[in-house]
């Protein structure tokens, strides 16, 4: 579980006075705690849910970084980039587009999809199999190019 490692990592970052890592770890901890309180006290958050939370954090920071970059705010852009680096360390290794493409081709062959009308079915299977390993945007683009 990611959340158990985060507490230890926060302590180490505090001792090392690593403000960048500490800021990223605290963001992760806050997001996981928020998700736990939303679920309810009886339900535990599994590792898949934690990965989705981390992916959401990375996506939010990338969007913010793009906005800061377009407005010429290098200082704020740098903060977002640093947090992205810290958070991605706790995500599974991302597959490159060639690996994702090969998996999607296999899914299309197994499902028998032949037209763009079946994109939803293929996307559902692909998102399930590639959860945490590839961005949804990339998956969507590849599925569309293969079926379109």
> pLDDT, tens digit, for every residue of 93-115?
888 888 989 999 999 888 888 88
* CA-closest candidate to residue 107, choices 148, 132, 142: 142
Q: How confident is the model at residue 131 (pLDDT cuts 50, 70, 90)?
A: confident
Cα–Cα dist 26/7, whole Å: 9
| Cβ partners under 8 Å of residue 80, min gap 6 | 61, 62, 64, 65, 68
Cα–Cα dist 126/107, whole Å: 7
Query: What is the mean pLDDT of the segment spanning 79-88?
Result: 94
pLDDT at residue 42, rounded to an integer: 58
3-state secondary structure (DSSP) of residue 45: coil
Cα–Cα dist 62/24, whole Å: 14
| pLDDT tens digits along 52-82 | 899 899 999 999 999 999 999 999 999 999 9
User: Is-above-0.85 flag for pTM?
Assistant: no
**Taking the CB of residue 9, how many other CB atoms lie within 10 A of it?**
21
| pLDDT tens digits along 6-30 | 999 999 999 999 999 999 999 999 9
pLDDT at residue 21, rounded to an integer: 94
Q: How confident is the model at residue 130 (pLDDT cuts 50, 70, 90)?
A: confident
Cβ proximity of 139 and 127 under 8 Å:
yes
Residue 40, pLDDT above cutoff 80 = no
Cβ proximity of 117 and 148 under 8 Å:
no
pLDDT at residue 39, rounded to an integer: 66
Q: How confident is the model at residue 43 (pLDDT cuts 50, 70, 90)?
A: low
| DSSP letter (8 states) at residue 21 | H
């Amino acid at each position: 579980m990611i959340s158990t490692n985060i507490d230890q990592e926060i302590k180490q970052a505090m001792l090392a006075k690593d403000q960048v890592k500490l800021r990223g770890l605290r963001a992760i901890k806050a997001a996981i705690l928020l998700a736990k309180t939303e679920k309810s006290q009886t339900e535990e958050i599994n590792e898949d849910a934690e990965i989705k939370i981390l992916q959401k954090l990375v996506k939010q920071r990338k969007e913010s970084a793009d906005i800061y970059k377009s407005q010429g705010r290098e200082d704020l852009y740098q903060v977002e980039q640093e947090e992205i680096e810290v958070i991605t360390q706790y995500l599974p290794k991302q597959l490159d587009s060639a690996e994702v493409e090969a998996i999607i081709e296999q899914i299309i062959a197994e499902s028998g999809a032949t037209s763009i009308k079946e994109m939803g079915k293929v996307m559902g299977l692909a998102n399930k199999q590639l959860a945490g390993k590839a961005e949804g945007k990339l998956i969507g683009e590849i599925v569309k190019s293969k079926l379109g």
